[in-house]
Amino acid sequence: MIYVISGPSGCGKSTLIRRVLAGLGGARFSVSHTTRERRKSEVEGKDYYFVSQDRFLRLVEKHSFVEWAVVHGAYYGTSRQELAKGGNRDVILDIDVQGAAQVRKKIRTAVFIFVLPPSFRELRKRIEGRGLDRAADIRRRLATARKEVRSYSSFDYIVVNDDLETAAAELESILRCRRARLAVRKKSIGPILKSFRSKG
């Protein structure tokens, strides 16, 4: 199953995804390509594939991306190759609302989750507190946030990230719940059903 997680910059998407991946087996993070500068804390190939604009645009020409967009002045995209790595595991995409709209058109079965901070004021506090972005970049991210939240109604689930533990538990429960759906469980319950058909 593919899970698309969107929400304004600084609302806590990466933090929530890290928590869920740590507590839940059988899921992985889809590593995006970006032309944004690498932050000191970020690791190539783990957080992002950091590429030049030329390289990114060559990949666009080769139709290497399932979706891509310009977000806060940089290019970001999910490669087909990255998505195909999943095997049977759930895949979590942390992408913006433009990318989510592209995935919605292409992958009907994907699940869309929008993360909201408890307020705009708290969002500002979190972005500033994170201490990773320059002042001009923070202003741009906050301005974009005002537009992004208008897209909330095209998502399947809304997670309000007020208390981190509660929000992470809610996000995890969405994944767990989807795993119990008939179409998904059917793939793994064969041996149980078979045991009911045999004697003993």
Rounded CA-CA distance 106/7 in Å is 20
User: By C-beta, is 78 or 161 nearer to ligand 5GP?
Assistant: 78
Q: How far is the CB of 128 from ligand ADP (least distance, A)?
A: 9
Total residues in contact with ligand 5GP, by rule CB under 6 A: 15
Nearest approach, Cβ of 178 to ligand 5GP (angstroms)? 21
**Residues 159 and 13: beta-carbon distance below 8 Å:** no
Q: Do 127 and 133 meet the contact criterion of CB atoms below 8 Å apart?
A: yes
Q: Is 36 in the site for ligand 5GP (CB under 6 A)?
A: yes
Q: In the complex, which residue's CB is closest to ligand ADP?
A: 12
Binding flag, residue 124, ligand 5GP (CB under 6 A) = no
164 binds, among ligand 5GP, ligand ADP, none (CB under 5 to 8 A by kind): ligand ADP
User: Between 87 and 106, how does the x/- string for binding to ligand 5GP read (CB under 6 A)?
Assistant: -------xxx-xx-------
Closest approach, Cβ 66 to ligand 5GP, in A, equals 9
- Percent helix, strand, coil in the chain (nearest 5)? 45, 20, 30
Distances (CA, A) of 59 to 65, 118, 174: 7, 37, 33
DSSP code string of 90-107: EEEEE--HHHHHHHHHH-
Asked if 12 is part of the footprint of ligand 5GP (rule: CB under 6 A), the reply reads: no
Question: Least distance to ligand ADP from the beta carbon of 198, Å?
Answer: 50
CB of 111 to ligand ADP, least distance (A): 18
Q: 67 to 86, contacts with ligand 5GP by CB under 6 A?
A: 67, 69, 71-72, 76-78
Q: Which residues contact ligand 5GP (rule: CB under 6 A)?
A: 9, 32, 36, 67, 69, 71-72, 76-78, 94-96, 98-99
